[in-house]
Amino acid sequence: MTYLLDVNALVALGFVQHEFHERVAAWVRGLISRGNTTLATCAITELGLVRDLAQAPQYGLAVSQARGLLLQLKQARAVRFAFIPDDQDISRLPGWVKTARQITDGHLAELASSKGAMLATLDKRILRAFLIPEGN
């Protein structure tokens, strides 16, 4: 199974000081133990991680540091990472998207689905996404 991590899940996995790091890391450890799992990123999620870590004063990272953290995470041997190219235009936005806050979520869910993956998130409000469980 391939899971496309949304921005928050990717940030939580890559940044150990994130409030949900242990939740996401525990889920990933469980996936590793079961084998045959790929975590995926795409341009939106990668850029979102770098933006969030470089923009938030509590993280205190420069763009180059956030980029380096992401590259290091993707090169880790414990879990396989894939990059999903984004070839979806606005015509593929799901009908359940009704507000501006849902646009990226809807786009990522549709992108994942179109590539045979599942969007993995910490946000229970995203339709058709896998909610990363609490306390594995």
Sort 12 into a burial class: Cβ within 10 Å, 0-12 / 13-18 / 19+: buried
Distance separating alpha carbons of residues 90 and 64, to the nearest angstrom? 31
pLDDT in tens, 13-33: 999 989 999 999 999 999 988
SS3 5: strand
pLDDT tops 70 at residue 67: yes
CATH numbers and ranges of domains, the chain: 2-131 (3.40.50.1010)
| φ, ψ of residue 56 in degrees (nearest 5) | -80, 120
At residue 101, the pLDDT reads: 93
Closest CA to 105 of 44, 56, 39: 44
pLDDT band for 45, please (50, 70, 90 cuts).
very high
- CA-based R_g, the chain, Å: 14
Tell me which amino acid residue 19 is.
E
pLDDT digits (tens, 9 = 90+) for 96-122: 999 999 999 999 999 999 999 999 999
Q: What is the mean pLDDT of the chain?
A: 94
Residue 17 Cα to chain centre, angstroms: 17
pTM: 0.93
**pLDDT for 9 beyond 60:** yes
**Distance between CA 113 and CA 3 in Å, rounded?**
10
At 136, is the pLDDT very low, low, confident or very high (cuts 50, 70, 90)? Answer: low
